[in-house]
Amino acid sequence: MKKRTLFKLLSIIVLGSFVLAACGSPAATEAPVATGAPAAESVTIRWRTRPDNQAEQDVYQKISDDLSAKLADQGITLVYDPAPVTGYEDKLKAEFSAGNAPDIVWIPGASTADYAKLGVILDLKPLADADTSFKLSDYYEAPIKELEQGGHLWGLPRDISTLVMYYNKDLFKKYNVDDPAKLAAEGKWDWENFERVAKELTNPTDKTYGFSMSNWWGLWGYFVNAGGGSLFNADRTACAMTSEGSIKGLTFMRKLFLEDKVATAPGVEGGVGETDFLAGNVGMFPNGRWMTPGMRANAKFDWGVVEMPKGDVNASWLFWGPYVISAKTANPNAAWIVMKELTSPEVQAQVAALGSNIPSNKDQAATDAFLNSKPPEDNTPFVTSANYAQAEIPLFTGNWGDIVNGIYQPNIDNIFAGKMTVEEAAAAICQAADPLFIK
């Protein structure tokens, strides 16, 4: 009897230890060996992007296979592990939390700060510093500046995309309205002319409108920036929506929608505004490069792109997304080698040929691959906008979701709904948001 009791007790202890071991927190990640040297043993690097369609996924799969062959002599095999657009970050967060995220993963630029603050992505600075063959200056400066916050290097930009104005050339011809590209060439593509052509295109009887846009920070943020304002103060520790420039930008935006009535009501991204534009009922629709494949596939009219109209200042967004390395990767050196390859001009040229993004590497061959990816006939507005565009902001001084999505956005919605004046909304934003910034 005693033996049986002892046996039971031991069994419980063993089982209990299994449970405790399973529930215990994982060991802290060790910093990588900053050699940048090739992996000595055979390793597998799992990497992930968020392809929008099968064609894009096929290109990434081919890149993965080609790089596996190229890096075989270094013992590195790549496994491409794509994830769907819907719930992309939810899945990633769950994987980071469980400690089984891919070794290399693409994330949206604005999310970089969240992952860096949580310590789930690797600081690449030691690896980059130790690698003499690597030059950060090969990439566009703006995203690199954001990735180098606090003296670290949180990733390498996979691609960039600037905010430009897509426009329906047929509609402009139909109403005999000045072509924006011509106005831009003459240096007259400013808010005054933008408003004028939007009015000339608007015909409620025909249900055509001059302008439409999705309702998210990138779009109303353009008006803020072009008015001479900004979303945050210089060191991003406070709201700047009540500044003179921000108010001016938002006031112009409000006028387009509520007074001139040249624009359809803004909806969620990919929603009604985009559909109206694709249906040929809207003259101008601002968006990033990611809209180009959809335009190629679905637009039944002649279309082009032009830089965003100049307000008080030139403004656009430089959207970017980096590849980052999981802090729990077992092979940081091999992951670094793969990451360099994934952001090399050769690989970026293959992705750029798809037309959905601009290479983040300034190499001419990669840029040429992008410029030759047509339509639109003229891709240069995407590249020239990068010269003055404000980079998408990873907010290291606060929670982007709480501040921008939770406070800025609902108050901007109230401007569109006519429930608040611009001044009231801006004051409400700053009053609620300021306490949430980390000073």
SS3 28: coil
We find the least distance from the C-beta atom of residue 348 to another protein, in angstroms, to be 30
- Beta bridge partners, 46, equal 79
Phi, psi of 49 (to 5 degrees): -130, -175
The H-assigned helical ranges of 283-405 are 292-298, 332-342, 345-352, 364-371, 380-385, 400
Q: How many CA atoms lie within 13 A of 175 on its CB side?
A: 22
> Does 356 interact with another protein (rule: CB under 8 A)?
no
> Does 8 interact with another protein (rule: CB under 8 A)?
no
> Does 279 interact with another protein (rule: CB under 8 A)?
yes
CB 333 within 8 A of CB 32: yes
> Does 267 interact with another protein (rule: CB under 8 A)?
yes
- Burial class of residue 17, CB neighbours in 10 A (0-12, 13-18, 19+): exposed
Q: What six digits make up the tokens of 275?
A: 């559909």
> Does 96 interact with another protein (rule: CB under 8 A)?
yes
Residue whose pair of structure tokens reads 């990633």 in the numeric block: 92
Please choose, out of 173-181, 217-225, 236-244, 263-271, the segment that lies near another protein by the rule CB under 8 A: 263-271
Please choose, out of 165-173, 231-239, 245-253, 407-415, the segment that lies near another protein by the rule CB under 8 A: 407-415
Of 236 and 289, nearer to another protein (C-beta) is 236
Phi, psi of 210 (to 5 degrees): -75, -30
Q: What six digits make up the tokens of 146?
A: 């954001």
Please choose, out of 49-57, 64-72, 273-281, 369-377, the segment that lies near another protein by the rule CB under 8 A: 273-281
For 138, 156, 158, 405, 415, the CA distances from 343, given in Å and listed in that order, are 10, 7, 6, 30, 41
Please choose, out of 2-10, 178-186, 365-373, 394-402, the segment that lies near another protein by the rule CB under 8 A: 394-402
For the segment 204-223, give every residue that binds another protein (CB under 8 A): 207, 215
Of 197 and 415, nearer to another protein (C-beta) is 415
> Does 275 interact with another protein (rule: CB under 8 A)?
yes
The residue ranges that bind another protein (CB under 8 A) are 25, 89-90, 93, 96-97, 114, 118-120, 207, 215, 264-268, 271-272, 275-276, 279, 281, 399, 401-402, 405-406, 409-411, 413-414, 416-417, 419, 432
